[in-house]
C-alpha cells in the first residue's frame, strides 16, 4: 500500500486540466466514491494495527493534496470565466468603426512605389518658401504671371506692411528640386511629393490647394528617350499593361523641350467616350528636359550634366483611378465618401 500511495501522490502532483470538464474527470478518478484515493481508504480496514498510524497519516495527506490541487484549478477556471464575462469599462459605449485610408494617400504611395522600383528616392521640403527657390532658380522671368497675386499666395513678413515680400506658399514642389540640386551632387534621382497652393476659385475642377508629385533625374547623357521610357513604365504600372502614352509639345519655364503627356483613356480603351471627350486620350502630367539655365542656377555644370523632370497632380491621377469627379470631395472629410475606400 505504501508504494501505491507514493504512486498516486506523484500522479496528483503532476495533475493538469485544460478546462472544467477535464478537471471534473480528474475529481471523479481520484476522489469520487469509486475513486482511487477512496479505494485506498477502503483497503485501510485490512491494514495491521501497528501500521495504521503511519499509513493513516499518509492517506490523509494524499487526500488533502488531491483536494487542494482540484480546488485550486477550479478557482482558476472560475476566475478566468468571470474575467471573460466582466465588461471592459475602458471601452467606448458604441462599437468603434474601422477607418480607411484617404484615396489621395493611397494613390500617392502607389506612385512613389512605382518610381522607387526604378531608383527614385523621396525628398520633401517646406510649404512656406521664398521666391528664389519657387521661381528665381527655375528660370521664371521677373514679369511671369505666376508671380502675380492672382496665382500665388504671398506672406507678409510684418503685420500691416503692404510692401512686396518674397515669402510665399509654394505653388509647386519644384522648389524641393531646387533645394536638392543645390545641396546634392549628380547623379540625382528624386521624387518630391507634397501639398501646393494657388490662388484659384474653388470648384469641382479646381481648388486653392492640391497635391503634386514631381520627379527629377540628373546625370551624364540623360536624354528625352530616358524620360519617355520612365513615363511609359509608370503609365503601364499605374493604369494597366495596355496603356499607351503620347507626348505633345508644350512650354514650361524650367524645361526645354517641354511636353504634356496623355494616356489612352482607361475607360473606353482609346476608342472615345464622354470622359476623354471622344479623343481617346487623357492628359495626366507635364514633363521635359531640365533647362540648362536651371542647372547653372543650382550650381550644376550644364555642359557635363543633363536631366529630365516631370510633375503630376495626385488628385488628377486619383480621379482617373477611382472616377472621382469633384475635387472638393477630397478635402471635405465626408465619411460617406471615405468609407468607399475601406477595402483599398
Which stretches of the chain are assigned E, i.e. beta strand? 121-122, 128-130, 167-169, 188-197, 209-219, 245-252, 255-264, 281-290, 306-313
**Least confident window among 155-159, 160-164, 178-182, 216-220:** 160-164
- Per DSSP, the three-state class of 21 is helix
- C-alpha 334/C-alpha 100 separation (Å) is 12
Distance CA(270)–CA(243), nearest Å, equals 9
pLDDT at 2: 75
Q: Is the model's pLDDT at 157 over the cut of 70?
A: no
Lowest mean pLDDT among 86-90, 146-150, 278-282: 146-150
Pull the grid cell for residue 258: 517641354
Provide the pLDDT for residue 163. 56
Residue 284 has pLDDT above 70, yes or no: yes
Listed range (130-139, 310-319, 332-341) with the worst mean pLDDT:
332-341
Phi, psi for residue 133 in degrees, rounded to 5: -80, -30
Say if pTM beats, i.e. exceeds, 0.85.
Answer: no
Share of the chain above pLDDT 90, in %: 44
Q: Residue for cell digits 521664398?
A: 130
Q: How far apart are CA 15 and CA 38, in angstroms?
A: 17
CA distance 175 to 168: 11
CA nearest to 120, candidates 175, 177, 171: 177
pLDDT the model gives residue 236:
94
Q: Is the pLDDT confidence value at 156 over 60?
A: yes
Q: How much is the pLDDT for 120? A: 96
Please indicate whether residue 41 or residue 163 has the higher confidence score (pLDDT). 41
What is the reported pLDDT for 166?
83
CA distance 172 to 286: 12
Backbone angles phi, psi at 256, to 5 degrees: -160, 115
Cβ-in-10-Å burial (0-12, 13-18, 19+) of 263 comes to buried
Contact between 122 and 193 (Cβ < 8 Å): yes
As a whole number of Å, the end-to-end CA separation of the chain is 71
φ and ψ at residue 150, rounded to 5 degrees: -70, -20
∠ CA 169-171-174, rounded to 5°: 115
Reported as a single tens digit per residue, the pLDDT across 174-230 is: 999 999 999 999 999 999 999 999 988 888 777 889 999 999 999 999 999 999 999
Q: What's the CA gap between 152 and 208, in Å, rounded?
A: 10
**Of the ranges 23-32, 88-97, 220-229, the best mean pLDDT one:** 220-229
User: Which segment of 93-97, 121-125, 328-332 scores lowest on mean pLDDT?
Assistant: 93-97
Q: Look at residue 344 in the predicted model and tell me its pLDDT.
A: 63
Cβ-proximal residues to 304 (8 Å cutoff; 6+ apart), any chain: 220
What is the mean predicted confidence (pLDDT) over 128-148?
A: 86
pLDDT in tens, 294-331: 999 999 999 999 999 999 999 989 988 888 878 888 88
Rounded to whole angstroms, the Cα distance separating 127 from 175 reads 9
Which of 252-261, 271-280, 290-299 shows the lowest per-residue confidence on average (mean pLDDT)? Answer: 271-280
CA nearest to 343, candidates 326, 322, 328, 324: 322
Amino acid at each position: 500500500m505504501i508504494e501505491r500511495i507514493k504512486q498516486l501522490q506523484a500522479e496528483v502532483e503532476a495533475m493538469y486540466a485544460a478546462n472544467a470538464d477535464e478537471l471534473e474527470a480528474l475529481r471523479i478518478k481520484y476522489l469520487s466514491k469509486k475513486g482511487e484515493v477512496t479505494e485506498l481508504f477502503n483497503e485501510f480496514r485490512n491494514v495491521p494495527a501497528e501500521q495504521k498510524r503511519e499509513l493513516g497519516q499518509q492517506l490523509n495527506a494524499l487526500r488533502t493534496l488531491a483536494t487542494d490541487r482540484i480546488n485550486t484549478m477550479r478557482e482558476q477556471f472560475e476566475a478566468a470565466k468571470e474575467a471573460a464575462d466582466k465588461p471592459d469599462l475602458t471601452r467606448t459605449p458604441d462599437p468603434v468603426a474601422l477607418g480607411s485610408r484617404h484615396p489621395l494617400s493611397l494613390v500617392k504611395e502607389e506612385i512613389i512605389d512605382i518610381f522607387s522600383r526604378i531608383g527614385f528616392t523621396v525628398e520633401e521640403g517646406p510649404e512656406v518658401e521664398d521666391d528664389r527657390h519657387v521661381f528665381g532658380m527655375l528660370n521664371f522671368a521677373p514679369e511671369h504671371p505666376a508671380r502675380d497675386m492672382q496665382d500665388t499666395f504671398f506672406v507678409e513678413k510684418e503685420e500691416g506692411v503692404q510692401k512686396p515680400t518674397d515669402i510665399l506658399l509654394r505653388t509647386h514642389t519644384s522648389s524641393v528640386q531646387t533645394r536638392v540640386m543645390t545641396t546634392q551632387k549628380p547623379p540625382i534621382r528624386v521624387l518630391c511629393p507634397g501639398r501646393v497652393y494657388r490662388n484659384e476659385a474653388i470648384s469641382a475642377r479646381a481648388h486653392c490647394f492640391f497635391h503634386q508629385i514631381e520627379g527629377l533625374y540628373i546625370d551624364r547623357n540623360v536624354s528625352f528617350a530616358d524620360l519617355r521610357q520612365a513615363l511609359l513604365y509608370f503609365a503601364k504600372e499605374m493604369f494597366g499593361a495596355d496603356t499607351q502614352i503620347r507626348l505633345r509639345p508644350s512650354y514650361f519655364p524650367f524645361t526645354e523641350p517641354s511636353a504634356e503627356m496623355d494616356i489612352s483613356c482607361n475607360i473606353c480603351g482609346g476608342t472615345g467616350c464622354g470622359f476623354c471627350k471622344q479623343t481617346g486620350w487623357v492628359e495626366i502630367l507635364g514633363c521635359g528636359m531640365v533647362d540648362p539655365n536651371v542647372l547653372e542656377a543650382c550650381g550644376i555644370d550644364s555642359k557635363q550634366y543633363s536631366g529630365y523632370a516631370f510633375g503630376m497632380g495626385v488628385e488628377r491621377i486619383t480621379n482617373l483611378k477611382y472616377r472621382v469627379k469633384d475635387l472638393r470631395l477630397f478635402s471635405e472629410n465626408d465619411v460617406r465618401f471615405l468609407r468607399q475606400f475601406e477595402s483599398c
